[in-house]
Structure 1
Amino acid sequence: MLATLLFSNISDRTSAAVEEPAFAPQTVRFGENFDGVTAPQLPAGWTVSTTGGGGAFTTVTTASDTAPNAVFAPNSLTAGLSELTSPPMVVTGANAVLNFRHQYSLENTWDGGVLEVKIGSGQFQDALLAGCVFLSNGYTRTINPSTNPLAGRSAWTGGSEGFVLTSVQLPASTFGQTVQFRWRLGTNDGFSALGWWIDTITLETIPTAANAAAIAIPTAGTAAPYPSSIQVSGLPGLVTGLAVNIENFSHNFPDDVDILLVAPNGRRIVLMSDAGGGTAANNLSLTFSDTAPSFLPDNGPLAAGIFKPTNYDDTDTFPAPAPQGAVSGTTLGAFYGTNPNGTWSLYVVDDNGSNAGAIAGGWSLDIQSSVSACLFTLSPTAQAFPVAGGSGGFQINIPAGCGWTASTTNSFITIDSPASGINSAAVSLTVAPNTGGARTGLVTVSDGINQRTFQAQQGSGCPTSLAQTNLNYAAAGGGGNVPVTAGAGCSWQAVSNAAWVVVTSAQQTGSGALLFNVLPNPSRSARSTSVTVGARTLNVNQAGATAARFDFDGDGRADISVFRNGTWYLQQSASGFAAAQFGISTDVLTPADFDGDGKTDIAVYRNGVWYVLQSSNAQFFAFQFGLAADVPVPADYDGDGRAELAVFRGGTWYLFNLANNQTSVLQFGLAGDKPVVGDYDGDGKADLALYRGGTWYLQRSALGFGAVQFGLATDRPVGGDFDGDGKADLAVYRGAGEWHILANFQNYSITQFGLATDTPVPADYDGDGKTDVAVFRSGVWYILQSTNAQPFAYQFGLAGDRPVPGN
């Protein structure tokens, strides 16, 4: 069993006074004066044994330090041992002192008594061998060689001339341990004396810090003061052991009392909550230690003693300024591994409004700290990262209960995992690409006392820059030439991350140029990849293959076609002549690839209704979207290979996606503007575009808004990709057949082709990826082929027909 008897003071000494040294104020954690029993009985938990001729320890009234009893063993005439063993007791402080008063009359140097200590699960050994230090009245002499079982050992021998105080400093290693003490009297054969009296035994601690001010507990609410605080300073290292002492606790209904302990760093636990039921407690000294044998009782009466932190209600709350949120743990181990220095706070609350109480003696802390207890290692301590950056990390190996923090001052290192914690853990991090010289970054890990560093090593990140970082290509592909800036000694080689981008430039040193080719995209889906140049990245985006405008048979070439009184007449370049009755003479022509099969579908717009004849299955559908006066502008605005239904109305664009049935409304332009839809940035998506009085206004899906002055108010804007770079060019038809073209927003040209009365019908009739200059005149098509710059004329249609490419 564990002894739990505590005394606040022990007095009534009846023997002759002996001058004794003074020590720092101490708190009694265990006490026994043997006066609670009737001689010759011993208190519960105390045991005796004898060997040989030794006489047993018993309580007697013949002499005592405090009346009426002391424990006594006679000095026998024959060789033997008399032993007195204490109950087990918990050491709750780092500065523990065993005090006892004793009187001895023993045959000098032949008979004698010793003190032995058992720590934890170890064996009993002499107090000095166990690391104890006598602060007063230690051993007097050595027992002579003889039949005495203690022969050769230092001991108390001879006469003490009355009761004297012996104080024994226990080693710091006993903090939190269970200890027992054993007094042994050894005798030899021959002469004898009176014997050994022992009385007034206490185990005391010198608290690390204390606040003796009383804490008043009201009938309901927070105590006064709230909190009660203790300032700790000067302790080295980190917390490795902790006990909390509550002095003179009184309350008529202890179940109402809740106590929260908060450390300087904010960690916190509930020391006591809803314990003790409704039986009044009066002036109890309570010590809380993780090594205590038991918890406070839930309903039974409280008694003085040493207990584990006890919480019977997890829903209890502590008003501000107590920190809010979940507690850090349920044991005092939650504080282990933290800095002990700073303000410790005790928050006391009465959660029911009927009974009051107090902690009249305040409270104190017994703190054990160590510089080396939380020593830790990192594994590995360094890691090499590629120039392009990447992820890595290391393991923190630290004793259980110890806390740590990780930090870095290097901006190119990002700690991805939690940057603090308790116990061993893995730290993950990311290193950014290196665009400069070789570098090393550090992650510093600290337990509050000790520091270790992890090195992130990264080679030179040359070259230093690319003139461009993003390029867009049409499905037809094309070449690329990107200037590269690099130091004179920097060697680099570009690497493509996809087979459809072919790097043609060789390895270079210093500044140079990245040369590559983008192959045609056979798929209808857009694609993206990158070219890596050291630590730099060039992103390459390519639009998916889309049907050529006005290509009704899907061979990649626009077809000559006219509309006459509701009939479509097609001269298909691959499939030959065809005619289809679809629409009425007043319909607006809206041909586009609505079903995504790579062929232009016959379609008309009439009074807000779209009528579409799908080429994929020859099925017809009609769909209401728009108003009679709207301008239909069908195109593939999202790059999915299917044209959307779209109308322009007074500066607002309305789009309907046939794939997901979603409607989009976009404000761009003014009433009276002319829509000139096209893919002006080459990302495979049609862009909103308007022509107003000689100015082009563009809302590009990849490059955003732009405005370009090109043309006159009387010009007719004509769309197309005249240079085959995958981007729509600015072009107008003026006067007597002048084509003014601004290719790629920078290459200006004028082509004379046509008459003032002609209808411009630009389209890619030869399938080379470039829009051909072309006009329709009285049933004859005049086309200037981009493949060979040769014109040709083709009779198809009648005067008055509406050429389909001209709509």
Structure 2
Amino acid sequence: MTRRTRPSSASVLSAVTALVCGVLAAVVLMASPAQAASFSNAAPITIADAPCGGAVGQGSPYPSNIVVSGLTGTVSDVNVTLNGVTHPFQGDLEILLVSPLGCSSNLVLLSDAGTGALDNATVTFDDAAAGQAPQNTPWPPGTYKPSNYTELTGADPFPPPAPTPSANTALASFNGIAPNGTWSLYVLDDGCGDAGSITGGWSIDITTAALPSTTTVVTSSLNPSRTGQSVTFTATVTSSGNPVTTGTVTFTQGATVLASNVAVNASGQATFTTSGLTQGNHLVTATYNPNASFNTSSGSVNQRVDNNTVVTGNVYCNTGPITINDNGPSFPYPSNIFVTGAPTTLGIVTVTLKNVTHSFAGDVEAMLVGPTGQNLVFLSDAGTAGVSNVTATFDDAAAGPLPQNGAWAAPNTTVTADPTNYAELQADTFPAPAPAPSAATTLAAFTGTNPNGTWSLYVKDDGAPDIGSIAGGWCITLTTSDTTPPSVTITQAGGQTDPTSTSPVNFTATFDEPVSGFTGADVSFAGSTAPGTLVATVTGGPSLYNIAVSGMTGSGLVVVGIPAGAVVDGASNPNSASVNTDSSVLFRSRQSLPAVVTGSVNWKLRDVLSGSGPPTVTFTYGTTPLVPIMGDWDGNGTKTAGTFERGVFKLNNANDSSAADITFTFGNPRGFPVVGDWNGDGIDDVAVFAAGTWETRLTGAGTLGSFSFGPALNWPTVVPVAGDWDGDGVDGIGVYNLSGGGPLGQWNLRETASAGAPQRTFTFGGSGQYPVTGDWDADGTDGIGTKTMSGSLWTLRDTASGAGDTETINFGAANDFPLVWRN
């Protein structure tokens, strides 16, 4: 075989796998610019005559092969030439070309074309020819398109090892495949009575196209990262700006394969995730592996990995070892420590190198760089001997520097020294990324700077031939100079309702830095209107505290604050006064308290529900004759005075002698007033009872409706009452038999203000005992009680039932009208 070719440029070999008739075969692909070459096999092919009766005559050899090698790129054009073709009948010739891929990568070049003879003819098959060889007339030697005509007997009969002929009709069907490998020509005679030959063998002309170039870019999901953190490296492969969606990528670090043959996705991306990178700089390279469609390319990213900083009080350490390489920078270079949450002004810093070992200590040089850029060479040219497992602390307050001559210290010991930088013949230099050394000579260079951020240690060896290590890593100790007072903001605690009837009331105090000494005694209640002795209980810390306030004996605002100087921070700075963004909660006392009215206009209120004693609040309100009532008319939690007179309600939002705040006409002028919260909105409403008929009204909304409940009798034979009997926040109604209507002292109650049968019936009280209702134990459920009309004795039960414990108090006098209020 001979080969002629134009010169080609240097290329990169790549192994590409092709599926050949179900068998994997290795094909060598050269990835470089376009080429054109001709390959030939001059050995003659003898064409045996087909025996009569349907069999075919095979060429010999069968097949005739040409091995193509050294081409780059992929096929862009193929032409085939037959040299010295002799046959008495052209139409008997059947010729099949098979590419190195085999299987369906084949083409019938000639079949059943022509009726003439060929004598030592040269015949070329080229897609660019003017036309096919004719089917039913003789054709001369020349160049033709592939000429495959349908046979009467069906498909072209190529026996094995030839593959089944494909449906391809043009040589262009080979475009895009790898050219190198064995091309096979199968020749047959499918008619009896004649034989032939191809005395000069055959040749194949192949032109290849250059593979498209690619670009690979690598990115990191987290750079820099910390040891143990998961980092994903993403390689994005493009060609002419478009994603490459086929092929694979291999990730490496130096000679180490991190992940191989990772398939690219529809976005042209391949990823590799690891959490196993050690401290230091890692050059991670992603290489797009060359294939039959695209050229190779690679990209890299420098991944920085740092150890997690270990914090103990004001000592910050990187415990990772540092390898001191001979006559060059250490690894890692630099080693970093991360400081967060420290006060913003640095006073003093010291540096400790732990477990230093080196065969000649004078070669070790170390520079410290602070978060704001200040730097200090604190170790250079100290010692003329080796050092073994010595821990050295550098402190401006030490007795002196390390020695210039001799040893630092005995093996396995510790030493403390001033920063030690002896003059050299040449100034200290540190390779990038270290900054140029400053002229500073003490660690005071860092005083006054903000210590929060990254501290970097650059270590190098400046002489050969020796190495070493700092096996225990390094630490810095920070003493801050803090003059800023801590600030504090007070807000309602999460989940705290406002208004509330629940004690304690909770607030959150948030300091901008840790503080100490904060107790309940430091809490101010200035601006609070809730009665009682308020007490604060403080929990939490050191920056976030909960303030729980209790001790309220009545309704009103609970307001908290923290005065200046209550606590101190770590630098003994006292706090500034609190900023109160939402530091008040309206407390509504649930406990009902006794009240009486003498002569219709003299009101007496007591703010405790026990024992006996004089009134706490007294005032006059209203005129005679009238019926006194009390209710929470404005929803502030306090029940205040009101009157009903011949259908006119006059309500006061304060327990004093001021004029009525609310006046309206409602109900039967001959009826008796009742107060209750009919819709559960926290504001009391009114009703008028007359002869078993109830007329109800919602505050601010007008008439609610009327219905019948109780006997058709009037007050005072029966007394209408109201209360939240079941604790659902909505008041129900009832009637009490004071002097008639049934057994005296009998209660008939409903849990809503509506018509219907009694839901609770029991006896409590009796003749001469006037009914009262209220939440005596502040549990959200109203109980019952009576006051003797001829005296001052109140008998109370915490539930609206005929059984249970009772308590008694003494308040008022004979013939005083009993009421219930809430402060």
Larger CA Rg, structure 1 vs 2: 2
Q: TM-score, normalised by structure 1?
A: 0.29
